[in-house]
Amino acid sequence: MAAVNPYLTFDGTCEVAFNLYKKAFGGEFLMISRFGDMPAGDGSPEQCGPADKDKIMHVALPIGKNTILMGSDGPGNIPITAGNQFSVAIQADSEAEADHLFNSLSAGGQVFMPMGKAPWGAYFGMFADQFGIQWLINFDYAQQS
């Protein structure tokens, strides 16, 4: 397994929070994208209505040598409640490892997005395990090269 990174979920304040984190930790965002940037019709839960289009879909900020702090505003179809503002983001080394982790950890839980090709060039899935802990499993196709 390549890396485990904290993933924070906000209710519309992700951009403000991450600008604060950027100021505190220094550095530049590796990525920042909005729900409105998602292509239409991809079947992902990130599809949103007009009220969500300017919210942050994903932001990544390196902190320290081996950690990337990541975050998102929760889309309207996944309500933000106490306890689900944090996810464990796993960067897998292969599709096979991603599938294994997804299938093992999601058993008995709630799948929000099954493993599949994502518009950002990755193999991705998200779920809450049987204990309510949210997980994001990602394999970047670019790391195959």
DSSP code per residue over 23-53: HHH-S--SEEEEGGGSPTTS--TT---GGGT
Residue 19 has pLDDT above 60, yes or no: yes
Q: What does the pLDDT look like over 49-105, one tens digit per residue?
A: 777 889 999 999 998 778 898 999 886 666 776 666 778 888 888 999 999 989 988
* Mean pLDDT value across the chain: 84
The domain locations on the chain are: 3-144
Please tell me the predicted confidence (pLDDT) of residue 42.
53
Token reading at 89: 């983001």
Please tell me the predicted confidence (pLDDT) of residue 38.
79
Residue 45 has pLDDT above 60, yes or no: no
Tokens 């395990």, residue?
129
Can you say whether residue 132 is alpha, beta or left, with left for phi > 0 and alpha for psi between -120 and 50 degrees?
A: left
State what percent of residues in the chain have pLDDT above 70. Answer: 86
Q: Which of 44, 49, 144 is nearest to 95 (CA)?
A: 144
| One CATH from 2.60.40.1180, 3.40.50.620, 2.40.37.10, 3.10.180.10 for 3-144 | 3.10.180.10
Beta bridge partners of 126: 113, 136
Residue 145 has pLDDT above 80, yes or no: no
The pLDDT-based confidence of 26 (bands split at 50, 70, 90) is confident
